Amino acid sequence: MNPPRLTDTTLRDGSHAMKHRFTSEQVRAIVTALDEAGVPVIEVSHGDGLGGSSIQYGFSLEPELDLIAEATRTARRARIAVLLLPGIGTKDLLERAAELGVRVARIATQCTEADISEQHFGIAKKLGLEAVGFLMMAHIRPPEVLVEQAKLMESYGADCVYIVDSAGAMLPPDVKARVSALKEALSIQVGFHAHNNLGAAIGNTLAALEAGADQVDGSLRGLGAGAGNAATEVLAAGLDKLGLNPGLDVFRLMDAAEYVVAPLMPYQPVPDRDSLTIGYAGVYSTFLLHAKHVASRFGLDARDILVELGRRQAVAGQEDWIVDVAVDLVEQEAGQRHAS
């Protein structure tokens, strides 16, 4: 294993847990703490990436570009990154972010849809940005399919491609198989982004490093969607004990988590009943509330709906399947009662 490059996503993935209510003052405090602790890349944007502030995904308290500008003004050593999802983020927003001093564009697609990202990688490279690809919901496809998708991103100009455990559904063997496959097939770097729905975010990140991952993600106090991410401070401590510290100040990160981020958190992300269900089912956390509402209407357990959605490999944008699944489950129950 080699020391990885760490990207902290507190100010992007953590935006979900904060209901996109970060302020410029909070951005300044968090970026300062991460920068002083030696974190080399800090991701800042709406939880759903550039342009995510909307009625569909939740409005930001302050304009997203204002938060990004605050981050680039504050950072002395760290580079600021943004996330862009094709179909949400736009060319104009990426260009504006680059003008504000962003240096890394992380371009995310569903793990079967890398082909929609070609123009976005092209724009990022034209702007002189480092371009990182995200294959989201990577647990729903086997390694050989992910290799095909990662190769597309590589051909578009990606400098690194991430295996992204969006639903927190993976365990270490799943991570190793996928990261290893990309490492063998690509000539660029490979990264891994964990969620903690099964309580395995740190273990999965270490498994990714054992498989050769070059880049990994964390967030202070694990602040992120679902059960949160691999906690940056915990990951830093683990890397240090393994002799793989890439230059992180472990104590400063502990203090940043405890005294900067914890006081502003609305709750501590943990694998509670709901987030554990998401990881077990293997679906996005965005399905949860809708599934609960539909389950109440149909007299079902929301967990049964979510598990069936996972079996059908539902991804974001397919929330309309929830009612169909509920109807199917009710009909199955009726059929079983009739048969008995």
Tell me: is residue 240 an annotated ligand-binding position. no
58 phi and psi angles, rounded to 5 deg: 105, 130
For residues 295 and 306, give the distance between their C-alpha atoms in angstroms, rounded to a whole number. Answer: 10
Q: Is 16 a catalytic site residue?
A: yes
Enumerate residues 6+ apart whose C-beta is below 8 A from 281: 167, 169, 303, 306, 307, 309, 310
84 phi and psi angles, rounded to 5 deg: -135, 125
Tell me: is residue 46 an annotated ligand-binding position. no
User: Exposed/middle/buried for 334, CB within 10 Å: 0-12, 13-18, 19+?
Assistant: exposed
Tell me: is residue 195 an annotated ligand-binding position. yes
Of the candidates 231, 235, 209, which has an alpha carbon nearest to the alpha carbon of residue 221? 231
Do the Cβ atoms of 182 and 133 come closer than 8 Å? no
Tell me: is residue 48 an annotated ligand-binding position. no
Q: Are strands 189-193 and 5-11 parallel, antiparallel or unpaired?
A: unpaired
Tell me: is residue 166 an annotated ligand-binding position. yes
**Which of the residues 16, 20, 120, 290 is marked catalytic?**
16
Dihedral in degrees, nearest 10, Cα atoms 262, 16, 41, 104: -160
Tell me: is residue 165 an annotated ligand-binding position. no
Enumerate residues 6+ apart whose C-beta is below 8 A from 107: 83, 84, 85, 86, 117, 120, 121, 124, 131, 132, 133, 134, 153, 158
Residues contributing to the annotated binding site for substrate: 12-13, 166, 193, 284
Residues contributing to the annotated binding site: 12-13, 166, 193, 195, 284
- Catalytic residues, which ones? 16
Residues contributing to the annotated binding site for Mn(2+): 13, 193, 195
